[in-house]
Amino acid sequence: MIHVLLGLSLLLNAFVLAGFIYRSWIAPPPYELPPPPPPSASGPRPSPVETMAHDLKLDDRQRDPLSGIGDRYTAARRERMQEIQRIREQTAAEFRQSPLRMAKVEELVDQVSRLRAEQQKETLRTIMQFEPELSSEQRMRMQTILADRFAGPPLPRG
């Protein structure tokens, strides 16, 4: 009886190892993240709009009409992030109080969620303003990037 169990265990281990080798070396996952944009010397992480401009490889002719759009977006994003940070600090202060006012915490969490949703919508609106300046190849690339980033990486199969 023990020989049968050991044989089944060996067979199971062989199949697991074969699956690992197949998945890792022979058929890697179909989705690969795009490389991040080059780090800037100033330090802060680039905004999603700057990242999209980099990924689309906009030339100077295309960037000129869009520079004002990017500046306004950056200023609005900075203000929204400061407001989110202020609300997060309020939430932390609520956590320090006793007894915890869960209704107030939930309200603050809802405010942060609303601000993040507004930020995502504003990012998409700003990116869509790129469209008139893009070539057909860049336009198709932008649609693919938006679909991939909005949906996120696909779930693993199996």
pTM over 0.95: no
Task: Summarize pLDDT for 105-117 with one digit per residue, the tens.
Answer: 999 999 999 999 9
Q: Identify whether the C-beta of residue 109 lies closer than 8 Å to the C-beta of residue 87.
A: no
Task: Summarize pLDDT for 83-105 with one digit per residue, the tens.
Answer: 999 999 999 999 898 888 889 99
Burial profile 18-34: b = 16 or more Cβ within 10 angstroms, e = fewer: eeeeeeeeeeeeeeeee
For residues 127 and 66, what is the distance between their CA atoms, to the nearest angstrom? 10
For residues 48 and 64, what is the distance between their CA atoms, to the nearest angstrom? 18
For residues 71 and 82, what is the distance between their CA atoms, to the nearest angstrom? 17
